[in-house]
């Protein structure tokens, strides 16, 4: 049976309402399974079991250990991206409830991973199954992609495109929290290490050495001043906001607590806008080093080369490009039209403050991408991490209808 848009909307709402309890239980099940430090196996198996129950054509883990679910074999490829790893819980004594069992108050689920980002998974999985059942995935191959993201933004999509399954999608929907709005970009970032070399000596005769820590003091002051200038508008982007730079870690190498350190390193998180080319950002940081110290201090761009829980390694630079999909792009408009069709309102476009897998999908690979997910990003990584369960359920409607609206947009664009 072919459905008109209005008929599809009514049928989707009816089916989502009927599946309400299953969607909520699925959500409670997956937040209850710890998946910190990229350990996706157990939660991936639970998600895989749900996709198998719903009749996905293919359900499997990729080489890295991300969980894949596929429906259809059409020419147009769309990926629903949801990272299912989480940050740790810190000191358990700081939590007033079990961070994995969580608690529900006034319709809000409090749990680790509730908003960052397991909250989008139930809607994506159920939404794709409903879209298939209603014939809304014509000429489309649709993937649910539950992946590792917290340790290295974009590495899992990189694997998806270049290794397994080795497919370049036409469109990607990222499920990070967007307050049920369409997000269409965010700042990027570069992780850097600055290392000063010195000469060790006994602390009692420290003047015989060359203290590497002291060499870094003026540079740290310059970094703080540069960040202040960023907040005043240097490098600002009208939609991505202000860039930033921060010292996030330090390491000293010393023979003992009674010796002058002969090496001192600081680690930087540099958030970048689309106004800032990669090479200019690196040159700017190198420019903070005084001329007389150029031979004694180095700036290094970091790489991620940690093995996943399956042992798979894929070294990548810790350069994560900024990206922004144009307001008028058919995919952006399809997202906006889906919201308006379902809920009768035009919501404001937004961008994330943090970075997502969009750094690869859109930033490196140039694949049109948008974000849509339940919850507010301000609760990510917090003890009060939370997501409204109504949004978790309602998001299912969006994920089910979006492929149809996108297809209409693409046909209209020719």
d(CA 136, CA 124): 14
**Nearest CA-CA partner of 123 in 388, 344, 376:** 388
d(CA 29, CA 291): 57
Long-range contacts, 255-259 (Cβ 8 Å, 24+): 255/200, 257/203, 258/202, 258/203, 258/204, 259/200, 259/201, 259/202, 259/203, 259/209
Q: How far is CA 191 from the centre of its chain?
A: 16
Burial class (CB in 10 A: 0-12, 13-18, 19+), 100: middle
Residues β-bridged to residue 268: 192, 247
Collapsing DSSP to helix, strand or coil, 34 comes out as coil
Collapsing DSSP to helix, strand or coil, 101 comes out as coil
Positions annotated as catalytic residues are: 85, 149
Residues β-bridged to residue 319: 190
Q: How far is CA 393 from the centre of its chain?
A: 21
Contact between 73 and 143 under an 8 Å Cβ cutoff? The reply is no
**Nearest CA-CA partner of 377 in 369, 388, 366, 385:** 385
**Nearest CA-CA partner of 176 in 381, 355, 365, 35:** 355
d(CA 89, CA 84): 15
């Amino acid at each position: 049976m072919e459905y008109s848009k209005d008929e599809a909307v009514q049928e989707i709402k009816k089916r989502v309402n009927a599946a309400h309890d299953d969607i909520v239980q699925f959500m409670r099940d997956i937040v209850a399974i710890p998946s910190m430090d990229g350990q996706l196996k157990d939660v991936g198996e639970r998600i895989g079991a749900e996709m198998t129950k719903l009749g996905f054509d293919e359900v499997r883990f990729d080489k890295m250990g991300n969980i894949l679910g596929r429906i259809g074999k059409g020419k147009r490829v769309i990926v629903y991206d949801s990272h299912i790893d989480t940050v740790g819980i810190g000191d358990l004594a700081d939590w007033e409830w079990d961070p994995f069992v969580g608690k529900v108050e006034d319709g809000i689920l409090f749990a680790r991973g509730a908003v960052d980002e397991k909250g989008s998974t139930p809607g994506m999985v159920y939404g794709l199954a409903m879209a298939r059942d209603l014939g809304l995935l014509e000429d489309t191959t649709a993937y649910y992609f539950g992946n590792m993201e917290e340790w290295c933004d974009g590495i899992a999509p990189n694997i998806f495109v270049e290794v397994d399954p080795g497919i370049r999608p036409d469109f990607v929907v990222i499920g990070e929290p967007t307050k049920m709005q369409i997000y269409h970009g965010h700042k990027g970032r570069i992780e850097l290490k600055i290392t000063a070399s010195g000469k060790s000596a006994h602390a009692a005769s420290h003047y015989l050495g060359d203290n590497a820590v002291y060499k870094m003091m003026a540079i740290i002051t310059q970094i703080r001043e540069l960040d202040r200038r960023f907040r005043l508008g240097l490098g600002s982007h009208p939609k991505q906001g202000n860039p930033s730079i921060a010292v996030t870690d330090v390491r000293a190498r010393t023979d003992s607590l009674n010796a002058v350190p002969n090496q001192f390193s600081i680690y930087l998180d540099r958030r970048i806008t689309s106004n800032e080319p990669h090479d200019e950002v690196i040159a700017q940081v190198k420019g903070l080093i005084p001329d007389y110290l150029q031979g004694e201090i180095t700036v290094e761009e970091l790489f991620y080369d940690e093995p996943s829980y399956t042992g798979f390694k894929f070294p990548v630079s810790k350069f994560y490009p900024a990206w922004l999909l144009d307001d008028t792009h058919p995919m952006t408009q399809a997202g906006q039209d889906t919201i308006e069709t379902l809920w009768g309102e035009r919501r404001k476009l937004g961008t994330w403050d943090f970075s997502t897998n969009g750094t690869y999908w859109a930033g490196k690979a140039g694949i049109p991408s948008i974000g849509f997910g339940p919850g507010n990003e301000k609760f990510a990584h917090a003890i009060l991490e939370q997501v409204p369960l109504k949004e978790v359920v309602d998001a299912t409607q969006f994920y089910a209808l979006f492929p149809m609206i996108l297809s209409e947009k693409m046909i209209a664009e020719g």
